[in-house]
């Protein structure tokens, strides 16, 4: 395992911990998005570009967006 | 069941799963090893059918049935979410007249990126058998591109230029097309989802036989699915109000 991979694994572990420890769903969407980017980095380093593409599109963009929209709906139409 | 009995059941289960995981991990090949029996079979099979992207060949040719299962899961979850999110009897869609202001910089960037993102998405879908990516990845990119209309323009603009019913129809048709392509294989060779179309020259745009067409079908299904899903979420967050 190269040092770069070790760093990427540690970053993913740290990112995942931050997501779990973030209690407020609105903020969690943001940390989840950052975690998605870290995971993408790991997939690229592991030479899995196909998985990395799916991860960056779904994990960093679409899922956090759905969480944010759901949070906004649940809080009621304060605009 | 009492509290302590529940804990006993939990620890029995957790202990069993934990033991099995440790036993499985001990027998795993080491990280990044040189022995890959699956690779040694999958790579020649993929290249033999003119698909330089081995992952796409596995997804849409060698294990295409698994992909059909995944597409069906996606279809099912989109249908389920859209059903749950549709306005109920005491809700009504009301569009705000004033939608606030979009920064000029955001507008410029959004409208510049819209065509670029559409082209990248189409590229990822249609070169799925050649380069990393494929119908799923490209489809999500295409769906994201459509929503730049909302980021850079307005919700009204997005609604006008994105007729939801088209995407609902396209999703169903694309999911059906996957099955039809599978049935063509069944009729011609006796195997469901067999790669029956001409394989062409390795590296050409129109090559790899069925992989190209299945990629296109999945691309259409994922684009439409994500658009339908996000449109339901956006409607609930932005325009559906309770009326008494």
Q: Tell me which residue in A1, A54, A57 faces B32 most closely, judged by beta carbons.
A: A1
**DSSP secondary structure letter of residue B242:** E
Task: Please determine, for residue A59, whether its predicted confidence score (pLDDT) is greater than 80.
Answer: yes
Confidence (pLDDT) at A18: 95
Which stretches of chain B are assigned E, i.e. beta strand?
91-93, 240-242
Residues B103 and B82: their CA atoms lie apart, in Å, by 31
Task: Please determine, for residue A28, whether its predicted confidence score (pLDDT) is greater than 80.
Answer: yes
Task: Please state whether A6 falls in left (phi above 0), alpha (psi between -120 and 50) or beta.
Answer: alpha
**Neighboring chain B residues of A53 at a CB cutoff of 8 Å:** 124, 132-133, 137
**Neighboring chain B residues of A72 at a CB cutoff of 8 Å:** 237
State the complex-level ipTM. 0.82
> Choosing among B70, B132, B222, B243, which should be mutated to test the A contact, i.e. which has the most A CBs within 10 A?
B132
**Neighboring chain B residues of A70 at a CB cutoff of 8 Å:** 233, 237
Q: Do A72 and B143 touch (CB under 8 A)?
A: no
Mean pLDDT across B128-133:
86
**What CA–CA distances, in Å, run from B85 to B82, B96, B98, B170, B215?**
5, 20, 24, 20, 29
Task: Please determine, for residue A73, whether its predicted confidence score (pLDDT) is greater than 70.
Answer: yes
Q: Do A62 and B133 touch (CB under 8 A)?
A: no
Grade residue A77 by pLDDT with cuts at 50, 70 and 90. Answer: low
Grade residue A79 by pLDDT with cuts at 50, 70 and 90. Answer: very low
Q: Are B54 and B43 in contact (CB under 8 A)?
A: yes
Q: Has residue B20 been placed in a domain?
A: no
Angle A25-45/A63-75 helices, nearest 10 degrees?
180
Mean pLDDT across B224-229:
91
Grade residue B77 by pLDDT with cuts at 50, 70 and 90. Answer: very high
Residues B66 and B59: their CA atoms lie apart, in Å, by 7
- What domain count does chain B have? 1
| Per-domain boundaries in chain A | 3-75
**Structural domain harbouring B50:** 36-242
Confidence (pLDDT) at B7: 94
**Neighboring chain B residues of A44 at a CB cutoff of 8 Å:** none
Report residue B29: phi and psi, to 5°. Answer: -65, 150
Q: Has residue B230 been placed in a domain?
A: yes
What is the distance in angstroms between the Cα of A26 and the nearest Cα belonging to chain B? 14
Grade residue B244 by pLDDT with cuts at 50, 70 and 90. Answer: low
Confidence (pLDDT) at B147: 87
């Amino acid at each position: 395992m190269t040092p770069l991979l070790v760093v990427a694994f540690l970053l993913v572990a740290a990112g995942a911990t931050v997501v779990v420890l973030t209690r407020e769903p609105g903020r969690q969407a943001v940390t989840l998005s950052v975690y998605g980017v870290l995971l993408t980095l790991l997939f690229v380093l592991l030479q899995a570009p196909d998985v990395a593409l799916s991860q960056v599109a779904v994990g960093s963009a679409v899922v956090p967006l759905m969480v944010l929209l759901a949070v906004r709906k649940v809080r009621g139409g304060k605009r | 069941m009492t509290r302590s009995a529940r804990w006993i059941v939990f620890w029995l289960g957790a202990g069993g799963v934990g033991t099995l995981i440790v036993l499985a991990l001990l027998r795993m090949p080491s990280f990044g090893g040189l022995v890959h029996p699956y690779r040694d079979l999958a790579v020649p099979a993929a290249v033999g059918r003119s698909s330089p992207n081995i992952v796409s060949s596995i997804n849409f040719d060698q294990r295409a049935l698994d992909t059909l299962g995944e597409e069906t899961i996606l279809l099912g979850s989109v249908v389920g979410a859209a059903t749950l999110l549709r306005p109920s009897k005491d809700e009504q869609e009301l569009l705000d007249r004033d939608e606030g202001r979009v920064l000029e910089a955001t507008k410029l960037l959004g409208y510049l990126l819209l065509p670029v993102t559409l082209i990248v998405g189409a590229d990822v879908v249609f070169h799925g058998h050649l380069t990393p990516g494929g119908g799923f990845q490209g489809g999500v990119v295409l769906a994201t591109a459509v929503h730049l209309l909302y980021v850079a323009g307005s919700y009204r603009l997005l609604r006008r230029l994105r007729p939801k019913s088209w995407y609902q129809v396209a999703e169903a048709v694309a999911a059906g097309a996957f099955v039809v392509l599978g049935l063509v294989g069944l009729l011609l060779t006796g195997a469901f989802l067999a790669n029956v179309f001409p394989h062409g020259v390795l590296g050409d745009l129109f090559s790899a036989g069925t992989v190209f067409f299945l990629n296109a079908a999945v691309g259409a299904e994922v684009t439409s699915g994500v658009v339908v899903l996000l449109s339901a979420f956006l409607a609930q967050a932005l325009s559906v109000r309770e009326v008494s």
